[in-house]
Amino acid sequence: MQQITFTPYITHQGGWRATIEGVRTASSVRGKGVGTKMIYWAIERAKERGCHLIQLTTDKQRADALRFYERLGFQATHEGMKMKL
């Protein structure tokens, strides 16, 4: 499963940004292309929506996930922060 959110943002003349979060695949299907298909599906939805940018969040401690996303073309360009309420 994954969550994709579309958000208008002020750069790119008020264009749209897609954010992928909560990506999960069952351990029994890892390494079989399911995650890749899920991410490509999300990228296509973002293109259909006219997004100028697609971003995702992942835990910095998950080295395998980071390599996976980099292999799909994502780059770690920003540092994110959270605050639990």
The CA distance from 8 to 10, in Å, is 7
Report the pLDDT value the prediction gives residue 80, as an integer from 0 to 100.
86
DSSP state of 17: E
- Output the six-digit token pair for 57: 């969040």
Mean pLDDT of 24-31: 90
Report the pLDDT value the prediction gives residue 82, as an integer from 0 to 100.
87
Position 21 confidence tier, pLDDT thresholds 50, 70, 90:
very high
Domain ranges of the chain: 3-71
Superfamily (CATH H level) for 3-71: Gcn5-related N-acetyltransferase (GNAT) (3.40.630.30)
Render pLDDT for 39-67 as a digit per residue (tens, 0 to 9): 999 999 999 999 999 999 898 899 999 99
The CA distance from 17 to 5, in Å, is 8
Nearest by Cα to 19 from 67, 74, 83, 70: 74
Q: What is the average pLDDT score of the chain?
A: 92
Q: What percent of the chain has pLDDT over 90?
A: 74
